[in-house]
Amino acid sequence: MKKVEKYTRNYFMPPVKSMKWSEKEYITEAPAWCSVDLRDGNQALVVPMNLEEKLEYFQLLCDIGFKEIEVGFPAASDTEYTFLRTLIENDLIPEDVTIQVLTQAREHIIRKTFASLQGVSKAIVHLYNSTSVAQRTQVFRKSKREIIDIAITGAKQLNKYAQETEGDFTFQYSPESFTGTEIDFALEICNHVLDEWQPTASQKVIINLPATVSMSMPHVYASQIEYMSDNLKYRNNVIVSVHPHNDRGTGVADAELGMLAGADRVEGTLFGNGERTGNVDIVTLGLNMFSHGVDPQLNLENIPEIIEVYQRMTKMKVSERHPYGGELVFTAFSGSHQDAISKGIKWREGNEEKYWTVPYLLIDPKDIGREYEGDIIRINSQSGKGGIAYVLGQKYGLDLPPEMRESFGYSVKNVSDRLHKELIPKDIYDIFVKEYVNVETPFEFINYQFKSHDDYLTTVKIRVNETEEEFEATGNGRLDAISNIIHDKLDVDYSNLIYKEHALEIGSGSQAVTYVGITSKDGAVFWGCGIDVDIMTSSIKALFSAVNNLVSVEASPVK
C-alpha cells in the first residue's frame, strides 16, 4: 500500500521481559465486571439514551448480574446529573450493586461529582488524566512532571471531598491513553496516585489501565499489564483493571491476555458498543469463559431478550455474525457442516456425554436461549442432504431413508439456486410433498382388498387416464402382490424396492409414513412417500408415488 512509511509502532514495551502470562492456558475464574454501557457506550451513540431508556438499560445490567456499573459523567451535563440523582433518590440501586462515576482531575468537576453522589451508600469515583506522549505534546503541551502533578492534585481532592461526603467511596485512577504512554512513566504516575490514597486491605483502590486506543498486538498489551501488575505499589491492596477498545479488532484478545497477565477486573459493554470500533464486548468475554467450563458470573442465559433491549435502547444492531449473539452464528448453510451437526446432536440423544462436543457448535445454543429449529440449520443452495433431512425431521417429524436424502437434497438446492434465496422449513416441506407424497399421476391408487392369506391374493383399484380399473395378483406379501400388478398389468419395469416406515410423531400421531425407492432399468432410483392413517395404505401410496415419478421421467422428452 502507498503511504506505509507514514506509520510506525507508537507503543512501548516494558523495560524488562514480562511474559509469565504466556505460561497460563486459560482463564480460571471470572474477573470483577464493570459495565460502562451507560457512560462510554452511551456517549458513542448517534442519539444518546434519554432518562427513561437509561433507567431501563440500568435494570437490564442489574438483571444480567453486573455488580459495578458506570452510570455517567455527572459533572459533564444536566442529563447525566439527573440520571444519577434519579437512581439515588428513587432507591433504584440494588444493595449489591456499586455505581461508578467519572471525573477529570479538575477541582470544580470533582466537587460537583461528589455533590451528585449525596445520599448514595457506596460508589466508585473514577479519576483520570491523559498521559500518552501524543496527548502530552500535542494536546496539553505539558511535561511529565506537570502531568504527574495533575494526577496527584486530583487524587488529593478525591480524598478531601470523600471525607466531606457521607458514603463509602472506592477510588479508581486511569492513566488515560495508557497504551501510548511510556510504561515506566505510567508506573510512576500510578504509584504517585497510590501514595496519596494509601490503599489498605479493607479500602482497596482500582488502577485501570485502558487501551484507550488499541495500538499493538494483544501480547504486547499483556506484557504491559503484567509489568504494571508486578511493579505497582501496595499490589495486594490494588485491583488492576483493564478497559480495552477495539481499534485493531483485538479487544477481546486484549482483555483475555490482560487477565492472564494479572488483571482482576474488566470494564466493557454489551456487544462492544463504544467510541470508534467500540469497547471490549463483555458478552463475548463471558461466553468464551463459559465455553471452557468457567462460570462468568453473569446471567447470559437469554441472549435474544438481552439483544432486544439493547437494540431498542441504543438503536444499534447486533451483527448477524457477532459472536454468540448474531442471528447466524449458530447457523450452518454448508452441507458438510449441516450433516456433522445433525449427526452430532442425534449422537448425543443416544449417548451419555458429560461435555458438549457437537461439531461446529462451540456451545449448546439452548444454553443461551437459542433454539435448534431455525437457528442452527438453515437451507440455501449451499446446503446438503443431512441439513435438509434434519429440518424435515425437526419441524415435521419426517425421517427420510439415507438413500432418499441425496435425491431430495438436490431438489431443494435446485429450487433455492433458481430462486436465489434461503428456503424456510415450510418451503422445504412443500417441495417434499409436491415431489414425493401421494403422487397420483399418471396412476392414481384408489383402494385395495386383501382376499387370501395363503397366496396373498390382492385386488387393487387404480384410475388410469380418468378410467377406473381393477386388477388382481398374488405375491409373497400384499405390497409384493400390488407391485406385481404394476409390473404385469401397467407394464412398468423396476427392481430393488427399498422400504422404510415410521409413525408421524409431529402434527398427527395417528398417521403412518412410508418411503419407497425403486430402481429403473437404467439404474436410476426413484422415490415416493405415502402418508395415511393405515400403514398398509401409506405403503401402497408410497409405491405408487415412486412409480409415478419413474413413469413421468421416462415419458418426458428430456430425461
Mean pLDDT by 10 residues, the chain (559 residues): 93 92 95 97 95 97 98 92 97 98 96 97 98 95 97 98 97 97 98 98 98 97 98 98 97 98 98 96 98 98 97 96 92 75 86 92 94 59 65 85 86 80 83 93 90 79 88 87 90 91 74 94 93 92 95 67
CA 411 to centroid of chain Cα atoms:
31
Q: Show me where the domains of the chain are located.
A: 20-298, 335-432, 443-555
- pLDDT of amino acid 383: 57
Give the H or E element holding residue 431.
helix 425-436
- pLDDT of amino acid 153: 98
Strand partners, 122: 168
Phi and psi at 489, nearest 5°, equal -90, -35
Is 178:241 a contact under the CB 8 Å cutoff? no
Give the H or E element holding residue 162.
helix 144-164
How many Cβ atoms sit within 10 Å of the Cβ of residue 169?
Answer: 21
- pLDDT of amino acid 559: 44
- pLDDT of amino acid 544: 95
- pLDDT of amino acid 393: 83
Amino acid, res. 393: G
Q: How far apart are CA 61 and CA 67, in angstroms?
A: 9
Can you count the helices (H) and strands (E) in the chain?
16, 14
- pLDDT of amino acid 392: 83
Q: How far apart are CA 77 and CA 74, in angstroms?
A: 6
Cα angle: 118, vertex 119, 120; to 5 degrees: 95
Contacts of 160 (CB under 8 A, 6+ apart): none
- pLDDT of amino acid 451: 77
Give the H or E element holding residue 258.
helix 251-260
Query: Residue 260: which of 21, 20, 17 has the closest Cα?
Result: 21
**359: cis peptide before it, omega within 30°?**
no
Is 245:209 a contact under the CB 8 Å cutoff? no
Contacts of 451 (CB under 8 A, 6+ apart): 457, 458, 459, 472
Strands (E) located in 245-356 = 265-268
Is 531:398 a contact under the CB 8 Å cutoff? no
Q: Given 3-state DSSP classes, what are the helix, strand and coil percentages for the chain, each rounded to the nearest 5?
A: 45, 20, 35
pTM (2 d.p.):
0.79
- pLDDT of amino acid 425: 82
Query: Residue 546: which of 502, 488, 498 has the closest Cα?
Result: 498
Q: How far apart are CA 245 and CA 155, in angstroms?
A: 25
Domain 20-298 sits in CATH at 3.20.20.70
How many Cβ atoms sit within 10 Å of the Cβ of residue 454?
Answer: 6
Q: Domain 443-555 in CATH: superfamily?
A: Alpha-isopropylmalate synthase LeuA, regulatory domain (3.30.160.270)
